[in-house]
Amino acid sequence: MMAEAPASSVVRDWIGTRLPGKAGRNYRRDLKKRRKSEAEAALMAVLDRISGGLCIDLGANLGVWTRRMAAASDRVIAFEPDPWTAQRLRENVADLPNVTVIEAAAGIRGGRAALYRSRQFEEDRETRSESSSLLSAKSNVDPASGVDVDVIDFPGFISDLDRDIAVLKVDIEGAEVELLEVLLDHPVLSRIGHLFVETHEDRIPDLAARTAALRARARRVAGPVINMDWR
């Protein structure tokens, strides 16, 4: 289920995002920043409450949120598929014995796939590593820069875990749509307490309708608590 915003706020945002020209663009930009801040505060509040438990960070990147999860939980599993980024992640969490790094992407089936990096990846690897995606249609990646990476069957991975997941963060640059479409119909959904998801329809417009449908479905599920405004 998703927490419902007050009706007046929903109406105001609906009107604001549809304003013409610069006014609409500015409203959409400010709304995204506000929702990002609210989502981060919501995740921190959950981490303050969980008192241990298992957290999974999909798309951990360099480990900023992996470290915050590790401070609140007794076990964190961090997925990062890009070879360069995964190595930096391992270095950044080397002092945390409760963190396991898996150098793989999370998908709906196991195998290998191309991971596409930012066009400016070589100019600033730390910053541009955040953009890497399994989807070549993402507007800020180079479709000719694919790096072969492992992909793990994530619903199956959850099924094999020896405990439930207190917090699952999903920041996988467009691949969240296909994964959520499967997870929302899968029995393992009941094993997740809180789910925080970043969506990428701004970078991949073809995902807009599917993302909107997922948001509607998320409002109807009994559990977990789903926040689809992560960053």
Mean pLDDT, consecutive 10-residue segments, the chain of 231 residues? 55 68 69 76 92 95 97 97 98 98 98 97 95 96 94 98 97 97 97 96 94 94 91 68
pLDDT for position 122: 93
Q: Is residue 68 part of a domain?
A: yes
How far, in Å, CA of 159 to CA of 109, rounded? 13
Is residue 1 in some structural domain?
A: no
CA distance 126 to 118: 11
Task: Answer whether 0.85 is exceeded by the pTM.
Answer: yes
CATH of the domain at 71: 3.40.50
What is the rounded distance in angstroms from the CA atom of residue 70 to the CA atom of residue 118? 28
Residue 134 lies inside a defined structural domain of this protein: yes
Cα separation of 84 and 125, whole Å? 9
Q: What is the pLDDT of residues 199-214, one digit of tens each?
A: 999 899 999 999 999 9
Q: How many structural domains are present in the chain? A: 1
Sign of the torsion angle spanned by Cα atoms 8, 207, 220, 59: negative
* Residues spanned by the domain of 67: 7-227
DSSP letters of 100-146? Answer: EEE-SEEESS-EEEEEBPBTTTTT-HHHHGGG-BS-TT-TTB-TT--
Closest CA to 163 of 11, 44, 55, 1: 55
* DSSP assigned state of 187: G
